[in-house]
Amino acid sequence: MSEMREAFEEILSTKDVEGVLLFSMDGGLLFKEFKGAGNPALESLTWGPFQAPLQGVREADLVFDKKRVYYRKTAWGNLLVVMGWYAPIAMVRLSCDLLNAPPDKSEGESKGFRRFFKKKK
């Protein structure tokens, strides 16, 4: 569980993100973490019915009356990020992209813009 907590630490530290839930592909709850006291209504809610309509969807931003839920299909399962209105969705998406990114196996290769400005031998 500490591995999961570390993996989602960046998402949970984002402003106005309230919690993270990770479900296996068959709907079982793998991880649940809410900030602070959390919201008992959200924590006790059955999230399974939300997953069936989203089976073919890679990502979705669901907007409700007082909350937003970002859904993302990951290598581990289905991720739900519960947020308030002012959460920076771009930061949440970037953090989710980093979760899905394969580990960098080539330490010698340059990264970022430097790869465009390589010296020719």
Q: Is the pLDDT of residue 68 over 60?
A: yes
Residue position matching structure tokens 């993996």: 7
Number of structural domains found in the chain: 1
Within-domain flag for 49: yes
As a whole number, the mean pLDDT across the chain is 78
Within-domain flag for 42: yes
Within-domain flag for 96: yes
Within-domain flag for 21: yes
- Find the mean pLDDT for residues 68-96: 90
Summarize pLDDT for 26-55 with one digit per residue, the tens.
Answer: 778 888 888 876 666 666 667 667 777 877
Type of residue numbered 69? V
DSSP codes of every residue in 41-106? HHHHS--HHHHGGGTT-SEEEEE-SS-EEEEEE-SSSEEEEEE-TT--HHHHHHHHHHHHSPP---
To the question of pTM greater than 0.85 for the whole model, the response is no
Within-domain flag for 67: yes
Q: Is the pLDDT of residue 110 over 70?
A: no
Q: What is the residue range of 29's domain?
A: 2-101
Within-domain flag for 114: no
